[in-house]
Each structure stands twice: as C-alpha cells, then as structure tokens.
C-alpha cells in the first residue's frame, strides 16, 4: 500500500505499508520520518517537538542535507545544510514489485528559487526502498554547462534504548574532523558516546555497525567515504527549541555523507549517487 496523505495544515506525506514494514515520507525535503519493521520498535528517532509544517525542517528521521553539508563555505547566511530539506519534492512514482517491498521515487529540479541560492541547473532524484531493510539513494544530475561541487548527507537519526548502551564499530584507526575543537584527530578504539560528539570521519569504506542493548544495525554506504557522528548531549539539547531536554539520551545520528574531503565534483551531463542501506 502506497497512499498520499495530508495533515490538516496542508503538510503532504506518503504512507507505505507492506508485509515487512511501515514507513512515512514527507514531500517536503523527501524526508523519511518513520520506518518500522513489523514486530519491532521504530528505527528512526523523531523529536516530539518536531515541526510538521511547510517551510520548517523536521527534527529527526532522515533529513537530506544538500547541496552543501553544514554551513555554506561561501556565504554563511545561506540555509544550514542546504535548501533540499525544506524544498517540496515531486512524487514521481510508487512501485510495489511484491507484497514485501515498496519503492518511492521523488524528484527536486532546479528553479528560480534554488538558483537564487545556488547558481546551477540540476536534478535531484530520491529513491527509497522499504523492505526487510531500508535503502535510500540520492542521485544528483548536473544539467548545467559547468561542473559543480556538492557536499551532502543522509542525516539519519537512529532511535536508541539509551546512549550509554551504544557502541559504533567500523571507525577504528580512521581520521576525523572534530567540529567542536576544529582539528583533525584519529579514532583509537570502538566509539562510545559519553559527551557531545560532532565528527566527520574520512575513509569510511566499510559498513558501520551500531550496537545497542537489544538491536544491531548495519549501515552500508555506496558513493561515500565519509560519515558523520552527532549527539548534542545535555546542554545543547536544552538549548534547541525543537528537542526535549533529555533527547540526547535516546538518539544518535550516524550519517552517510559526502562531507569535507569527500565532497564530489560533478561534470555536465554526469551524475553521482549517495546511497545508504540500513538493516
């Protein structure tokens, strides 16, 4: 089942249900904000204070950061993490090859609004596959006459039992940029979260494994060799208007990315796909 839905305030989303899972995807931002295998707890964390309003980004789920990650390097006044996450995508098609799998294809094309923020003609296509695992593929096509460079991320917020129960495998011996100290460091051991963390790891060519108390998640990336790990911890959770004070205890962002040294140059008539498979 693939159904287009609308909240009373006019916010559009798509509801998916098959024999493996249920999911919900907002047309604004192509934002997946719910995925749940039958008989299991939801995979994604969404803040109870999230805005489901046109023009306001949702806190949680899997926001799309594009065509830049973080602050724009040329103009800091431009939207944090780009404009895709608050842009309305077009629902191109929904496919149900069998009772166990569903696929959505959404698209965002450049317009007078987007070229006013980023002066390139392009097409962004999002393919979301709902089955026994979750797959998200973000394809950028250069429709311009000039090359351009993008940085991006599938900004996955995972729901966890408690942050003290979490470890992340697959980062050992990797270099990372610490956004808190603004310096490069090296990961010496399995990562555990016991303070604010905001890091961009480079060379993440192997799957990352998120080990929780009663659940193990594997995040496999294609078209990416960087990953972002983020938890705001207590002080920032309190400061953020769309998070509860204790939000940091039940969420962790493990993001498939093209960030910092992993930014990608795309030439005219070429494309690049950033993909994450989570299961």
Q: Which amino acids are annotated catalytic?
A: 155, 255
Cα dist. 227→45, 53, 80, 123, 224 in Å?
18, 29, 18, 24, 8
224 close to 187: Cβ distance less than 8 angstroms: no
DSSP codes of every residue in the chain: -EEEEE-TT--EEEEEE-SSEEEEEETBTTEEEEEEETTS--SB-B-TT---STTS--SBSBPEEBSSSSS-SS-TTSPTTBSGGGSBPEEEEEEEEETTEEEEEEEEE--HHHHHHS---EEEEEEEEESSSEEEEEEEEE-SSS-EEE-EEE--EEE-S-GGG-EEES-TT-EEEETTTTEEEE--S-EE-SS-EEEEEE---S-EEEE-SS-EEEEEEES--EEEEEE-HHHHHHH-TTS-TTGGGSEEEEEEEE-GGG-EEE-TT-EEEEEEEE-
């Amino acid at each position: 089942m693939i159904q287009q839905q609308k909240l009373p305030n006019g916010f559009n989303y798509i509801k998916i249900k098959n024999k493996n899972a249920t999911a919900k995807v907002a047309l604004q931002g192509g934002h997946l904000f719910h995925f749940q295998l039958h008989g299991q707890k939801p995979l994604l964390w969404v803040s109870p204070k999230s805005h489901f309003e046109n023009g306001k980004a949702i806190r949680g789920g899997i926001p799309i950061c594009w065509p830049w990650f973080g602050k724009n390097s040329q103009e800091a006044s431009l939207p944090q993490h780009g404009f895709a996450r608050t842009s309305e995508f077009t629902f191109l098609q929904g496919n149900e090859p069998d009772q166990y799998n569903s696929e959505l294809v959404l698209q965002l094309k450049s317009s007078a609004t987007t070229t006013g923020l980023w002066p390139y003609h392009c097409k962004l296509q999002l393919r979301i596959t709902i089955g026994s695992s979750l797959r998200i593929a973000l394809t950028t096509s250069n429709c311009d006459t000039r090359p351009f460079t993008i940085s991006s991320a599938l900004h996955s917020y995972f729901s966890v039992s408690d942050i003290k129960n979490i470890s992340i495998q697959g980062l050992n011996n990797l270099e990372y940029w610490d956004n808190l100290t603004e310096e490069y460091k090296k990961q010496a051991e399995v990562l555990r979260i016991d303070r604010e963390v905001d890091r961009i790891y480079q060379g993440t060519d192997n799957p990352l494994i998120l080990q929780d108390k009663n659940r193990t998640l594997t995040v496999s990336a294609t078209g990416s060799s960087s990953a972002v790990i983020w938890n705001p911890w207590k002080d920032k959770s309190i400061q953020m208007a769309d998070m509860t004070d204790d939000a940091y205890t039940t969420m962790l962002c493990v993001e498939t990315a093209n960030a910092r040294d992993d930014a990608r140059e795309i030439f005219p008539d070429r494309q690049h796909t950033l993909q994450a498979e989570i299961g």
